[in-house]
Structure 1
């Protein structure tokens, strides 16, 4: 759990009534990002984050860059046979609204139920159709280098900015986009 600028391990999660599981990959899994969201976008309350094993899904480098800092962001893609560790935010509706603003919901990313792959929590619980932010525009589709997406686990951010390639036609995920209120 992240609260007051620090992270805490909680053996028994706090009240999770009304919280939604959102797969967090790239910077959204970083405690410093949570602190930035509090300062810059008014994120409030305890942020409960669980570890998860993702099978058939991967965080890959996006084709475009962020305007604010010229960094290449991560995006989600289908990758059969790949297993990665990521985080799952158990977000309140208010926290989800802050994430929507940060992710440019409907513009850069869509909030969607992801039907591809499998997300399993550390306690063995499966999260079918987990929510995640997936590419909504070509700049957030995967970057293909030599015809393949490049996993963030394989190439660090410092090298990702210098990569060149083509924009993928799709992220390859089966999703149901959740329309904004």
Structure 2
């Protein structure tokens, strides 16, 4: 990584994730999902998030984060567990044509994750993580991409359909995003449900689905504890969403590759 991409300061304590309020890890606290996101672009470097002064990204892959991958605490934990220490540029972007929906599966982490969905005309501020080859492999694995039965597929979203604009006004040629292969949840009337945050989401789902309460309990805390303790129960909950008729398409299926779950346009 070019050292000019960050602006380290002598007072490094100011830029620790803890000092910035970004050290939380949804993996450890599922009800905090999707975690706390930065207010601006930065360079994630171990336990620090430095101001990003210049983006240098040859050889790196742009991956759009719609859930906890935009949380420096969560992303940093993934890298640390894999023994990786290279910095990760996290760039705030303006995305047109996407909304953040609810994945149609129950995660073993104890939460129901976010997933992108097509939403023409919608404009959102999200983050793009620029990952080197090793970092990309780690994040792919965390999303279940290499596995045939994994929940997510990494799809290339071209700028013609999903413009992603940097803070300086440039538009990227495209980005990758993790699209749930099972679809997303809708609100009971066919409209995709937005992801409001984990506690609110679980409260709403448990209140409206008696069968879900039988499986996971009456409170978000009970849901988390039971989901983290039982992989088969998570799969049962995932099937329940489909059986209740609450699953719809994300509208991004055309971009989801077959095979191992990744797709790379020529030159990327």
Cα distance, 1:160–1:42 mapped onto 2, change above 3 Å: farther
Q: Which has the higher contact order (CA 8 A, sep 6+)?
A: 1
Distance in 2 between residues matched to 1:42 and 1:105, nearest whole Å: 20
Q: What residue in structure 2 maps to residue 148 of structure 1?
A: 191
TM-score (ref. length: structure 1) = 0.87
Q: What residue in structure 1 maps to residue 167 of structure 2?
A: 122
1:21 to 62, 65, 70: 62
2:131 to 68, 91, 99: 91
Q: How many residues matched?
A: 172
Which ranges of structure 1 fall in alignment gaps of 5 or more residues?
none
Which ranges of structure 2 fall in alignment gaps of 5 or more residues?
1-42, 210-240
Distance in 2 between residues matched to 1:81 and 1:97, nearest whole Å: 32
User: Match of 1:95, SS?
Assistant: helix
Contact in 2 for aligned 1:77/1:172 (Cα 8 Å): yes
RMSD: 1.8
User: Match of 1:161, SS?
Assistant: helix
Distance in 1 between residues matched to 2:61 and 2:83, nearest whole Å: 19
Bigger Rg, which one: 2
- CA drift of 1:176 comes to 5.0
User: Match of 1:97, SS?
Assistant: helix
Superposition misfits of 4+ residues, deviation over 4 angstroms: none
Q: What residue in structure 2 maps to residue 10 of structure 1?
A: 52
Contact in 1 for aligned 2:179/2:256 (Cα 8 Å): no
TM-score (ref. length: structure 2) = 0.60
Contact in 1 for aligned 2:92/2:128 (Cα 8 Å): yes
Identify, as 1 or 2, the structure richer in helix.
2
